[in-house]
Amino acid sequence: MTEIKVNEVTKDYGKGRGVFDLDFEIKTGEIFGFVGTNGSGKTTTIRQMMGFLKPTKGNIEIRGLDAYKDATETKNFVGYIPGEIAFPDLPTGRSFIRSQAEFWKLKDLSFADELVKILQIDLSANPRKMSKGMKQKTAVIAALMNDSEILLLDEPTTGLDPLMRKHFLDILKREKAKGKTIFISSNIFQELEALCDRVALIKDGRIIDIAVMEEIRNPKRREYKIEFLDAEDFTAFKNLPYDFVRIKDEQKQVVLKIDIQDTGMLIRDLANYKIKFISENKYSLEKYFKEKFERIEGNEDDQ
Amino acid sequence: MPVYYGSKERDASMSVIEVENLTKDYGFKRGVFGISFQIEKGEAYGFLGPNGAGKSTTIRHLIGFSKPDGGQTRIFGMDSFKHYNEILNRVGYIPGEIALPQGITGYEFLEMMKKLRGVKDNSMIKKLSDLFELDPSGDTKRMSFGNKRKLAIVAALMHDPEVLILDEPTSGLDPVMQEAFMELLREERRRGKTILLSTHIFSEVESLCDRVSIIKNGYIVDEFPMSKLKYAEDKLFKVKLKDEEEAVDLKKHVEASGCADCEKREEDTLYIQVNDKNINEFLSLLKEYDVEVLSHEKLTLEEYFMQYYLDDVQFKGVS
């Protein structure tokens, strides 16, 4: 089932700024990542999903409702963490969370309490005087406490230290297991890599590519680095018909690429020699997008 | 009480940055308590720890902004607090939270810093501004977080200082700028600069630093060379076999040979930890099976460090 449908959306701010012809769907229970440089259009996209901005062209559907026209209604099942957090003037973080609970007519605060414990947040502080990390944690609680089915998260891990980031990402994994649909933008490739089902790369307001993470986490073609103990073994091996990426004679080292169905063959070949070590050069989302970028920029040069 | 790993045995005569039994007690167990480390000339040193552990406190003492309750910090052998001015002229410092003077443009701020540092040569400013695509024309008050950060970087490095002290320098930069900045640091390191990098981003430490220490609750809890992680001789492989029968059989043979530790987590998949010295014996066992995937599960710096970040403080809820 489709939870969020972005139909050929353009928001044109002029001078090439904005987002252009965005067209994608997010399925129920999916974690969809959104990555791009500052100013590439991540926040503009999320703000249109929230109904804060009206698209110049196209529309966004959230569970069949129009994100802009039916914005009041969609708020009932959408939790949101804004990219820049501005709190109302309230004496403590606790009073802010309570005011949010009233907005949703939420009686049961046990989930909020649980989040407070996981994220180790001191809610007695004035929200406007909180550090960036503290503000971020308070916003996380406000967005998640209503147990909303859809979460729209704009760089939610900014300002969190690694442990808090881990706790937060674990929370999102649990929410996914409950069937939540999550849209998350980030600057950090690694955190999207482990978390997301798909990740879109946006550049200058346009989606360049949508990566399927399973194919990146478990690639069909892998790269290994092997170092040999003896010069004869090294020489014999490098003459075998493998796809060598690099050969370093001084270190008696090779880097090669193989399709996974040839793994057995590689192991049987290696068993004939004395090696010092074998390690894998892992494929990553960053490498994947870098390759895409190079291809695109290469094409632009051709024109 | 956390275990203390000092580095007192190191030769202090070569050290450019020295922290010796530094104590600053802010009460409520906040601050730093008798920490020591040295950074040698030309070395890049990573400083990791959770928010509030004492990273910025240590750095602010090194720069001479704070007076220690006990112990001393020195740069170029000079007491940081007493020789604050001399040190600032030879050190590039990027603060964790950037507060720029307001009501002036970025240009005016850079001119002001040039006068303060006595910079005549514009080449470093030009190089950095180009690298970061800095637009310093606007008012500092209205600049984006990322743009302020870029301005602070240019201001910190304009006088081509010998020592760089960087407190989470890439926070607020987008990934492209982060990478550009890290490349710049790697180049500065090759030029012989001494670097102290405090950060949360493990991959930055991984790509730059020679040594790293971990600070927690005001104590240094671990310090070690990066090579210890980069060239781990114990490797964890995830081996997916044709079926469960093969997995069970391989596990039995590996355990009988004693060349590796084996754990079966899925039907057809084993997690096997092998030391490099046993790799040949292991491969000769493995070659008898139909291996579908051989995946090397690297222990990242992040996983290694997470143990130090774990905490058990309880916070009061909402209701």
B265, with CB counted inside 10 A (0-12, 13-18, 19+), is: exposed
For position B8, what pLDDT does the model report?
A: 41
For position B154, what pLDDT does the model report?
A: 93
Number of Cβ within 10 Å of residue B290's Cβ equals 11
Structural domain contains residue B314: no
CA distance A20 to A207: 8
Q: What is the CA radius of gyration of chain A?
A: 24
Domain locations along chain A: 2-216, 220-280
Cβ density class B118-143: b for 16+ within 10 Å, e for less: ebeeeebbeebbebbebebeeebeeb
B79 and B165 fall within a common domain: yes
Chain B 38-97, residues with CB within 8 Å of chain A CB atoms: 50-51
Superfamily of domain A2-216: P-loop containing nucleotide triphosphate hydrolases (3.40.50.300)
pLDDT at B202 over 90: no
Given CB atoms, is B137 within the 8 Å cutoff of chain A? Answer: no
Q: What is the CA radius of gyration of chain B?
A: 24
For position A182, what pLDDT does the model report?
A: 98
For position A303, what pLDDT does the model report?
A: 38
In chain A, residues with a C-beta closer than 8 Å to the C-beta of B318 are 94, 97-98, 101, 109, 112-113, 116, 123, 141
Structural domain contains residue B120: yes
Structural domain contains residue B315: no
B217 and B284 fall within a common domain: no
Q: What average pLDDT score do residues A86-113 get?
A: 90
For position B196, what pLDDT does the model report?
A: 97
Contact between B111 and B58 under an 8 Å Cβ cutoff? The reply is no
For position B317, what pLDDT does the model report?
A: 63
* Pairing verdict, β B70-75 and B15-27: antiparallel
Half-sphere exposure of B69 (CA within 13 A, CB side): 12
B238 and B217 fall within a common domain: no
Which percentage of chain A shows pLDDT scores above 90? Answer: 70
B285 and B154 fall within a common domain: no
B215 and B254 fall within a common domain: no
What domain count does chain B have? 2
For position B171, what pLDDT does the model report?
A: 81
CATH number reported for the structural domain that contains residue B238 in this entry: 3.30.70.1150
**pLDDT-wise least confident of B107-116, B140-149, B156-165, B287-296:** B140-149
Q: What average pLDDT score do residues A187-215 get?
A: 91
Structural domain contains residue B112: yes
pLDDT at B155 over 50: yes
Nearest residue of chain A to residue B283 (CA atoms): A271
CA distance B62 to B82: 11
pTM score? 0.76
**Residue-wise pLDDT tens digits, B205-249:** 888 999 999 998 899 988 989 887 767 788 899 999 999 999 999
For position B1, what pLDDT does the model report?
A: 36
Structural domain contains residue B149: yes
**Residue-wise pLDDT tens digits, B11-35:** 445 799 999 999 999 888 889 999 9
**pLDDT-wise least confident of A257-266, B114-123, B279-288:** B114-123
Q: What average pLDDT score do residues A146-157 get?
A: 94
Given CB atoms, is B295 within the 8 Å cutoff of chain A? Answer: yes
Per the structure, the complete domain to which residue B177 belongs is given by 7-225
For position A6, what pLDDT does the model report?
A: 97
Given CB atoms, is B233 within the 8 Å cutoff of chain A? Answer: yes
Structural domain contains residue B25: yes
Shortest CB distance from A113 goes to which of B233, B235, B317?
B317
**Residue-wise pLDDT tens digits, B97-149:** 788 888 899 889 999 999 988 888 888 899 999 988 888 888 887 787 788 88
B200 and B181 fall within a common domain: yes
Given CB atoms, is B27 within the 8 Å cutoff of chain A? Answer: no
Given CB atoms, is B279 within the 8 Å cutoff of chain A? Answer: yes
For position B24, what pLDDT does the model report?
A: 95
B172 and B91 fall within a common domain: yes
Contact between A156 and A111 under an 8 Å Cβ cutoff? The reply is no
**Residue-wise pLDDT tens digits, B49-76:** 888 889 999 999 999 999 999 999 999 9
ipTM of model: 0.73
For position B3, what pLDDT does the model report?
A: 38
Structural domain contains residue B131: yes
Of A209, A223, A225, nearest in space to A288 by CA:
A209
Contact between B97 and B149 under an 8 Å Cβ cutoff? The reply is no
Average pLDDT, chain B: 87
Structural domain contains residue B217: yes
For position A302, what pLDDT does the model report?
A: 41
CA distance B294 to A8: 42
CATH class of A220-280: alpha beta
Task: Provide the pLDDT confidence category of residue A85 given band limits of 50, 70 and 90.
Answer: confident
B205 and B260 fall within a common domain: no
Given CB atoms, is A71 within the 8 Å cutoff of chain B? Answer: no
For position B82, what pLDDT does the model report?
A: 95
Instruction: Report residue A259 as tokens.
Output: 């399709």
Tokens 């991959």, located at residue: B203
For position B103, what pLDDT does the model report?
A: 86
In chain B, residues with a C-beta closer than 8 Å to the C-beta of A101 are 318
B256 and B134 fall within a common domain: no
Measured torsion, CA atoms of residues A91, A97, A99, A101, in degrees rounded to the nearest 10: -170
Given CB atoms, is B126 within the 8 Å cutoff of chain A? Answer: no
Contact between A163 and A121 under an 8 Å Cβ cutoff? The reply is no
List strand residue ranges (DSSP E) for chain A, in order. 2-14, 17-27, 31-35, 57-62, 65-66, 78-81, 150-154, 181-186, 198-203, 206-212, 221-228, 243-248, 253-259, 275-281
B101 and B78 fall within a common domain: yes
For position B144, what pLDDT does the model report?
A: 77
B32 and B64 fall within a common domain: yes
Shortest CB distance from B174 goes to which of A37, A113, A218?
A37
What is the sign of the dihedral through the CA atoms of A243, A248, A254 and A255?
A: negative
pLDDT at A247 over 60: yes
CATH number reported for the structural domain that contains residue B76 in this entry: 3.40.50.300
- Return the H-helix or E-strand segment holding A301: helix A285-302
Task: Provide the pLDDT confidence category of residue B4 given band limits of 50, 70 and 90.
Answer: very low
State the smallest CA–CA distance between residue A69 and chain B in angstroms.
31
Tokens 């959306």, located at residue: A9
Helix (H, G, I), strand (E, B) or coil at B26: strand
For position A296, what pLDDT does the model report?
A: 65
B211 and B251 fall within a common domain: no
Q: How far is CA A18 from the centre of its chain?
A: 21
State the smallest CA–CA distance between residue B70 and chain A in angstroms.
28
